[in-house]
Amino acid sequence: MKAENIKLGIAPIGWTNDDLPELGSENTFEQCISEMALAGYVGCEVGNKYPRDISVLKHKLSLRNIQICNAWFSTFFVDGKKQQTIEEFIKHRDFLAAMGAKVIGCSEQSRSIQGTDKSIFKEKPVFSDEDWRLLAEGYNELARLAAEKGMKVCLHHHMGTGIQTPEEIDRYMTLVNDNVYLLFDSGHLYYSEGSQQAMLAVLEKYIKRIVHVHLKDVRDDIVAEVKNNNLSFLQGVKKGTFTVPGDGVIDFKPIFEILEKYDYKGWMVVEAEQDPALANPFEYALKGRQYIKQTAGV
């Protein structure tokens, strides 16, 4: 890949997990961003231990040459919480804009089971026609609000939500306006479909509307255990469903080739939530960095 097109970041979720705060509660913010920089990353997303004071956060990040590239935002349009979602979104947008980010990665969390003890393969929500209408209307509005600050809204398809499968991504992308974008997460698509081919097909189909990439690898044996025992998303995370690129089953070479072929310009963010007591976050950050250097040449 061309180094001038790509910025490589890493998510703090390998150090401190916002979905499961007991994972990594011992790790500090400064340790996290220092190790990110030491492992060779120039950007990150935002975790629950990050200071919210913009000047403090900017100062601590700039000492390490790290930039904020995105932060997760949960939407609740299908639940009918449009006004509340929009009010929260404006605060989040303004925080990210002040930090210099250009994209806002959102996930529709109405009826999501990702934080519950429900079986991740059996109990995900399925949206009705009316749900889809509310969703599209809401995201079109978010895109308009993001554009006020020169930013783009992208949807994070996610296990256990109403937008998980390639068919659901198709439906979403067809319903929303062209100025609503997609966040491609390799791990979530592979996990959902159990197929490298299905994951690549989504990437190639929507590459022109993909403005942010999460590089997440998957351990097939843990996914089989989750499936066979009807485990929840978070039970899987604790057991090690996810890992850094190069350490799981996904072949990232064709992902990098597609991104390069279509001239993707933007962030690729390593995102590998696992138990930091079992998988040292610094060691795994380095492992992912080395694999990307060898495989993508950046």
Ligand X SMILES: O=C1C[C@@H](O)[C@H](O)[C@@H](O)C1=O
Q: Is 156 helix (H, G, I), strand (E, B) or coil?
A: strand
- Say if strands 180-185 and 152-156 run parallel, antiparallel, or are unpaired: parallel
Q: Which of residues 120-149 bind ligand X (CB under 6 A)?
A: none
Beta carbon of residue 63, minimum distance to ligand X (angstroms, whole number): 26
CB count, 10 Å around CB of 162?
25
CB of 105 to ligand X, least distance (A): 7
Residue 19 near which of Co ion, ligand X, none (CB within 5-8 Å, type-dependent): ligand X
Select from 108, 141, 168, 185 the one that contacts Co ion (CB under 5 A).
185
* 194 Rama class: left (phi>0) / alpha (psi -120 to 50) / beta: left
Q: Which is nearer to ligand X, 92 or 133 (CB)?
A: 92
| Stretch binding ligand X (CB under 6 A), from 13-21, 93-101, 163-171, 246-254 | 13-21
19 scored as a contact of ligand X (CB under 6 A): yes
Q: Cβ closer to ligand X: 16 or 85?
A: 16
Which is closer to ligand X, CB of 143 or CB of 270? 270
Measuring CA to CA, which residue among 235, 38, 239 is closest to residue 10? 38
Contact between 157 and Co ion (CB under 5 A)? no
Least distance in angstroms from the C-beta of 114 to ligand X? 6
Cα 147 to chain centroid distance, Å, stands at 21
Report the Cα 113 to chain-centroid distance in Å: 17
Using the rule CB under 6 A, which residue among 8, 10, 14, 18 binds ligand X? 18
Least distance in angstroms from the C-beta of 2 to ligand X: 25
Under a CB-based contact definition with an 8 Å cutoff, are residues 284 and 14 in contact? yes
| DSSP class per residue in 201-236 | HHHHHHGGGEEEEEE-EE-HHHHHHHHHTT--HHHH
By DSSP bridging, strand 210-215 and strand 180-185 are parallel
Tell me if 34 sits within 8 A of 292, measured CB to CB: no
Which partner from the list ligand X, Co ion, none does 18 bind, CB cut-off 5 to 8 Å by kind?
Answer: ligand X
Single out the segment in contact with Co ion by CB under 5 A; choices: 21-29, 142-150, 185-193, 287-295: 185-193
Distance between CA atoms of residues 191 and 204, nearest Å: 18
Residue 138's Cβ-count burial label (10 Å; 0-12, 13-18, 19+) is buried
In whole angstroms, how close is the CB of 156 to ligand X at the nearest point? 5
Does residue 214 touch Co ion according to CB under 5 A? yes
Our CB check for Co ion shows the closer of 134 and 276 to be 276
> For residue 104, is it left (φ>0), alpha (ψ between -120 and 50) or beta?
beta
Residue nearer to ligand X on the CB measure, 108 or 273:
273
Does 212 sit near ligand X (CB under 6 A)? no
Residue 200 or 237: the one with the smaller Cβ distance to ligand X is 237
Closest CA to 258 of 213, 194, 192, 191: 213
Between 152 and 214, name the residue whose CB sits nearer to Co ion: 214
271 binds ligand X (CB under 6 A): yes
Give residues 47-106 in contact with ligand X (rule: CB under 6 A). 72
Residues that bind ligand X (CB under 6 A): 13, 18-19, 72, 114, 156, 185, 188, 214, 271, 273
Residues that bind Co ion (CB under 5 A): 185, 214, 271
